[in-house]
Chain A
């Protein structure tokens, strides 16, 4: 506005400002203004009301909140005693019953640590070291035992929600650096590295996760010498890490391409070398741009861990499914388990989505 300084408008020379067009569409006229709108509104309201009535009737009114399988069979509503009877199995799977405070503590500790790590103020080297040196070893010790007087629990008995968390979060935490490295490799000007990067990404992306898990379970042990087995959980975890890394690499590559070339040239002209340019200039901008697709991928993987059932491990959704096949409850509680699983998955996915929106906002206001 600097060049107009001193310019004073003469109000008499200007046409009077027109009033904005009348905007008196109230909500009533928006929904019931014309006969067509009114009809659509009434039909929609009726449908919503009918569905809500069905859902509430099934979920609460006709539901049985305490009782036996036989009472549930007689009722037309939901059968919640199934959940209360099976809750601990659904959450912790085959983990020894008397030791289930351990996965519970581990899970709470994990969620607490995640919550703390989500606050931008805590970010830094200290947090990374704390995760690697304190939090993860504590979680592992709690789950596996064998130290400090805790009974050892083999990984084959881990299951339920802690397993879902572990496979997805540890998997993605390890896959993220690997994926970034792969993205850089693919964008590299060194042919050998580029070919390796492209080869890995394309091969892994060209194969479904379930077949990678299947290979890790069925084929790998046949190549191993007699009597040597690698822990099943480890096999599944490594498979998930490799798979996630390929997808993360492509998302990060998209971010890298969105960073203008001038940024890199500016780095060169300042005398920075490749790693300095990447870590201080390009990657911070690239990663910021790809937060939404990355979180989308994370949510997807959180739900995909259920494929480990092929390895004989039961994650949260699998424990729900197997709980429903208990002969006592079989055929009685079919929907209840799935409804509960949907609520739990929705809760954590919505949390991740909300955090993603917060991150976008945060980076928009502090940088750029």
Chain B
């Protein structure tokens, strides 16, 4: 195949994928939501009208108004600013966890699947074992040992989220291992590291990326949940789950905004990531296309 035709095929493949993605309106909506929230997180300091931790005892528990779009909390802090800064916290924690768990899961999954045999068996049983523990419990154990905080939160979610990626990566590697071009490369004496990097990894990557996008949403939900019960992000950092937990006691006296807005932000972000993930899956995994 000449270079030109190859580029042409690549291009047509690309435009075909783009078409599939754009034809699914929901995934476009998802991508837009995610993009907007990433922008909010990056531009945070420019968008927030008032510093998120500025205490103002003249405006305690104000309902949403022109001056405070989302109202204020018990210290008179501006909720709009706090929710904007919350995007920075949640998305950066999410990014860190997803990147590391993807790398870890990818490395362990592909190597385990490629080597096979007893090592593979051992690793996969270990993965099963880890999966048997709900992430909340892992986080609880770690929080007891290390105390709450962002570090604990990140480690807890890493422990419970790389296993899913490892399983997918291993499954793909197992089927790729049998494919013609891999056996051919091995036949002409290709090193196993070469095969892993140049033949297996590029093909394992797409499904793994889809699952990473979907698990990103889960990480954000878990971050919020663990902070809500007090073993995640600690005050005075702005984090969505923590803001909800701080506003929780006011819901029975009618101050709904303290809970409503941060939760809405969580829901929209997670929804965006889920829709985006579904869209990506439709592209990369035609078997599951609706």
* A pairs with B: no
Enumerate chain B interface residues (CB-CB to A < 8 A). none
